[in-house]
Amino acid sequence: MGQPGLKGLPRLIAAFQNSMAGMKICWQKEEAFRQELLMLILAFPFGIWLGDNGVEQALLIGSVFLIPILETLNSAVEAVVDRIGTDFHPLSGYAKDIASASVLLAIFQALLVWGLILFN
């Protein structure tokens, strides 16, 4: 949680600590996040090896890196919606489904990037 009034280096340190707390929560509670990080760990050396140059390597790795990034946002949306209430409401379902769709689109985008670079 943010600490009001912090500036400069103390604010950066606090922000980093908050970010690491979020990573820890995702790691502990989100199976999809753990799977996507494993996929990133595997894709990283392959992206370096299979990319012909820095741009291709960055595209290969970056496209996979985007997936766990969006998974953290998806998890945040789900947590906020669940915090508001557990009663069924169509807008709650929309928010969760749309956030989940962003992860799916990132997966499609990564597959497209890998396919275009490796098979073109």
Residues 6+ apart with CB under 8 A from 84: 92
State the Cα–Cα distance between residues 98 and 96, nearest whole angstrom. Answer: 6
Q: Is 36 a catalytic residue?
A: no
Closest to 70 in 3D by CA, of 113, 28, 12, 26:
26
CB burial string 27-49: b at 16+ within 10 A, e below: eeebeebeebbeebeebeeebee
47 is written with which tokens?
């992206």
State the Cα–Cα distance between residues 55 and 63, nearest whole angstrom. Answer: 12
Among 30, 36, 71, 78, the one annotated catalytic: 71
Which residues carry out catalysis?
71
